[in-house]
């Protein structure tokens, strides 16, 4: 099973739709959104795609009912701990929301967070920790998303809209940190 991951859309519909195009190209089975969508209209194209959407609310997500409507009630308060395709996932918008759960080392296969707007892919014990960066591209100047194969746990950070993901490209791996500055 393959999942598309994005975060921090911040009302930037073009970025969210660009991520959706990447996810359709990659033939993902599921989309995970790590919060700060802001306006539900940002995700309007996801409904028509037929790809299930699971998300967590971010600190800028005021219209929670609207997000539930566009996601088929797929958004949750963080931390959210789904098991998808046998993979134990811990997801939140901000890393701080994960602290209590991370203390139980070895409990999760995949730990996801956003909020920082910066890409991160690394291993902590056996868990893959991933931040897909920002779908909006406002802070770093690079709109990014991620794709992960939940069977092999191989991940990649992808540029949105064909741009260079981080001044030279960012490809995932089990111990790759985002852009070097």
Q: Is the pLDDT of residue 170 over 70?
A: no
DSSP string for 82-111 = -EETTEEEEE-SSGGGGHHHHTSTTS-SEE
105-117 CB burial, b ≥16 within 10 A, e <16? eeebbbbbbbbbb
- Calculate mean pLDDT across residues 42-51: 94
**Structure token pair of residue 4:** 């598309």
How far does the chain reach from its first CA to its final CA, in angstroms? 33
8 A C-beta contact, residue 135 and residue 6: yes
pLDDT in the model for residue 71: 96
pLDDT in the model for residue 177: 32
- Calculate mean pLDDT across residues 151-177: 64
Separation CA 141–CA 82 (nearest Å): 31
Alpha-carbon distances, residue 47 vs 69, 70, 180 (angstroms): 10, 6, 35
Q: Is the pLDDT of residue 133 over 60?
A: yes
- Calculate mean pLDDT across residues 136-149: 97
pLDDT in the model for residue 40: 97
Q: Is the pLDDT of residue 178 over 80?
A: no
Separation CA 114–CA 34 (nearest Å): 6
**Which segment of 5-19, 52-66, 104-118, 147-161 scores lowest on mean pLDDT?**
104-118
Closest CA to 85 of 22, 157, 3: 3
Q: Is the pLDDT of residue 26 over 80?
A: yes
pLDDT in the model for residue 1: 97
Separation CA 164–CA 154 (nearest Å): 20
- Calculate mean pLDDT across residues 19-48: 97
pLDDT in the model for residue 180: 28
Q: Say how far residue 148 (Cα) sits from the centre of its chain.
A: 10
Alpha-carbon distances, residue 42 vs 1, 8, 18 (angstroms): 25, 11, 11
Peptide bond just before 24 cis, omega within 30 deg:
no
Q: Is the pLDDT of residue 153 over 70?
A: yes
């Amino acid at each position: 099973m393959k999942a598309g991951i994005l975060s921090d859309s911040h009302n930037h519909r073009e970025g969210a739709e660009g991520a959706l195009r990447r996810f359709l190209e990659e033939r993902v089975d599921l989309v995970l959104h790590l919060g700060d969508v802001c306006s539900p209209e940002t995700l309007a194209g996801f409904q028509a795609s037929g790809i299930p959407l699971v998300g967590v609310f971010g600190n800028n997500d005021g219209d929670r009912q609207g997000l539930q409507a566009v996601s088929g009630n797929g958004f949750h308060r963080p931390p959210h701990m789904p098991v998808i395709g046998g993979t134990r996932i811990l997801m939140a918008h901000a890393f701080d929301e994960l602290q209590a759960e991370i203390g139980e080392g070895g409990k999760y296969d995949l730990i996801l967070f956003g909020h920082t707007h910066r890409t991160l892919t690394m291993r902590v014990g056996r868990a893959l920790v991933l931040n897909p960066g920002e779908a909006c591209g406002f802070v770093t100047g690079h709109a990014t998303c991620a794709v992960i194969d939940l069977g092999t746990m191989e991940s990649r950070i992808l540029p949105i809209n064909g741009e260079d993901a981080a001044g030279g490209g960012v490809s995932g791996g089990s111990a790759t940190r985002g852009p070097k500055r």
